[in-house]
Structure 1
Amino acid sequence: MAVVVMQQASAETPAAVSGAIGAAGLTVRRVPLGEGTTGPLGLGDVEGLILLDAPGPADTVTPALVRAALAAQVPVLALGGGAELLADSAVRAAATGAPRGCPEPAPAAVTDPLFAGHEPPPTAFRLGGSAWGVRSTGEPGHPPDATCGETMAQLLGRFAELAAFRAEHTTTRTFFTQRADAWEERFAYQAPAYAAAVTRMRLRPGTTAMDLGCGTGRAMPALRELVGPHGRVVGVDVTPAMLSAAARHGRTEHGHLLAADCTRLPVPRRSVQGIFSAGLLDHLPDPRAALTEWARVAARDCVLLLFHPSGRTERAARHGRPLDPADLLAEHNLRPALTATGWRLDEYEDASGHFLARAGLVD
């Protein structure tokens, strides 16, 4: 896991920066800026960005990378000249009508996770909940070293800890953000399989159903069909870009879209009668924590349906590997995982054309 530090090629990475990143268990990837240099071309294994300088006039890669980081909610800390780059990137993204949008700069607050109850510097601003900038307060041409001082060291330390804490979500958002625009078209052929799987939930009209890890919301029309006009459908995903794509494809006609972590749902206890989840559970860092949270929000008669439009053998072959006996979705692993978290496995199908597991709460 790495934090990219962008600064002029002639400058050394300040010890306060590398020290804070190392203390959080992350590594530094230095990207020199200046004539003849370019920034990284992607965010594949990047957990955060620290911008210490602005790019030169010929550098078109760096501003584009910053805008991509903002869209994917990669944690960003920009200091001095880097803060001007961050603010300018947000303005340009808004002006060009970026399809995923971009938050507008706002004054930083003591409630921001980066400041942890401490009063932020008067020149500090934030962009949404993942990017912050601290502008220079020095005389023109002689800005102070933005990484010096005890306050700045604490700020760097908190940022590195935040980047490490959010690493799992950052990786997910980065992966799906760059694929969100083409996701619906790429997998449109799977729509009938999703509809058939949802039907197996046998939900009553007027009930509440959630699609966890909904992506572009392909299950939401079928869920709406089950619960009827007086029921409630909620699509939940941790990647805002996927929810934006879902909205563009009309999923808000079938229910509400919610950006949230499926292991910490902002939903009352015992309030959901149907939980649908496709291709999510076995990719979570702590599946049992997720199942426990889903049991918390589940009503007594709740149905949990785990689904994938291809079977385990088919997926393993597609990736060129044998079936893994430790696979969570293998029945001998899934059944005890469900039992330990309050669920009872009622139906299990690992067929050539689909995977489906239907469960209810333990009485």
Structure 2
Amino acid sequence: MSDDHTRVRDFFSARAADWDSRFPDDGPAYRAAASELGLEPGGRVLDAGCGTGRALPALREAVGPSGIVIGADLTPAMLEAATRAGRGRVGHLLLADVTRLPVRDAALDAVFGAGLVSHLPDPAVNLNELRRVVRPGGILALFHPIGRAALAARQGRQLTQDDLRAEANLRPLLAGAGWRLTSYVDEDSRFLALAVREE
């Protein structure tokens, strides 16, 4: 396992047990973001870096009982918390590295990533891996239940020009990995960037 992976796993392992209780009011933001993916009944969606699986119920709602919902995460403690919260009943929980997914090419209609992009060890390469598993015309949603400025304030830091989630940085990063940014919202109440997989 790389140093980046170990650092991410250690960071989230230490926070898994009380993750949901630290952010109890995020449910509506997850539901709203999932509804913007345009998923249809029977659809196939991956929550990449799913953590405790907070998006899984909303994604299941979107694809219905005949759809496929997968939650993949690198941190066993997060998946254990997801299981304790009953989220394994609405999606398949998978211990996996989102930089090397055990998913066949073009198998999915969409990938949802909450707080994901800032934890990717090599975003340009890793976004291409997410592209690989999504069909042409499929969707990538990069989400956070609060915007960049609100998150920076919560963490006691300033926004910088090199923030990967800034539109000026994210648009070319996505384009280089075969995604076309179609929607970008960064407000205090949420961050949501939607991109379409190019052919």
Q: Name the TM tier (shorter chain).
A: over 0.9
Q: 1:304 aligns with which of 136, 140, 143?
A: 140
Tell me the TM-score normalised to structure 2 length.
Answer: 0.96
Higher relative contact order (CA 8 A, sep 6+): 2
- The equivalent of 2:164 in structure 1 is 328
Other-structure match for 2:151: 315
Which whole-Å CA distance do the structure 2 matches of 1:337 and 1:195 have between them? 26
Map 1:189-200 → 2, pairs under 5 A:
189-200=25-36
Q: Which structure 2 segments of 5+ residues have no match?
A: none
Q: Which residue of 2 aligns with 1:56?
A: none
- For residues 265-320 of structure 1, give each alpha carbon's deviation from its aligned partner in whole angstroms, at most 9, with x where no partner exists: 00000001011001111222211111000111111131111101111111222233
- Secondary structure in 2 matching 1:209: strand
Does the alignment pair 1:177 with 2:40? no
* Residues 246 and 356 (structure 1), Cα distance of their counterparts in 2 relative to 1, 3 Å cut: same
2:131 equivalent in structure 1: 295
The aligned length equals 199
Alpha-carbon distance in structure 2 between the residues aligned to 1:177 and 1:312? 24
- Runs of 4 or more, structure 1, over 3 Å off, are none
Q: Deviations over 1:208-252 (max 9, x none)?
A: 100011000000000001111110000000001100110111011
Percent of counterpart pairs with the same letter? Answer: 52
Q: For 1:264-303, what aligned pairs fall within 5 Å after superposition?
A: 264-303=100-139
TM-score by length of 1: 0.54
1:142-168 residue CA offsets vs partner (Å, 9 max, x unmatched): xxxxxxxxxxxxxxxxxxxxxxx5322
Alignment of structure 1 residues 28-107 onto 2, 5 Å: none
Q: Deviations over 1:25-63 (max 9, x none)?
A: xxxxxxxxxxxxxxxxxxxxxxxxxxxxxxxxxxxxxxx
What is the CA-CA distance between 1:175 and the residue it aligns to? 1.8
Aligned residue number for residue 350 of structure 1:
186
- Corresponding residue for 1:242? 78
In structure 2, the partner of 1:217 is 53
What are the Cα deviations for residues 300-343 of structure 1, in whole angstroms up to 9, with x where unaligned?
13111110111111122223332211111100110001111100
Q: Larger radius of gyration, structure 1 or 2? A: 1
Structure 1 residues 3-29: Cα deviation after superposition (integer angstroms, max 9, x where no partner): xxxxxxxxxxxxxxxxxxxxxxxxxxx
Partner Cα distance (1:319, 1:228) in 2:
36
Matched, 1:186 2:22: yes
Is the Cα contact below 8 Å between 2:137 and 2:198 reproduced in 1?
no
Q: Which stretch shifts more, 320-329 or 342-351? A: 320-329
Question: Map of 1:101-120 to 2, 5 A cutoff?
Answer: none
Shift of 1:260: 0.7
Relative to structure 1, is the Cα distance of residues 175 and 348 closer, same or farther in structure 2, using a 3 angstrom cutoff?
same
| Secondary structure of 1:195's aligned partner | helix
User: CA offsets per residue over residues 334-354 of structure 1, 9 Å max, x none?
Assistant: 000111110000000111211
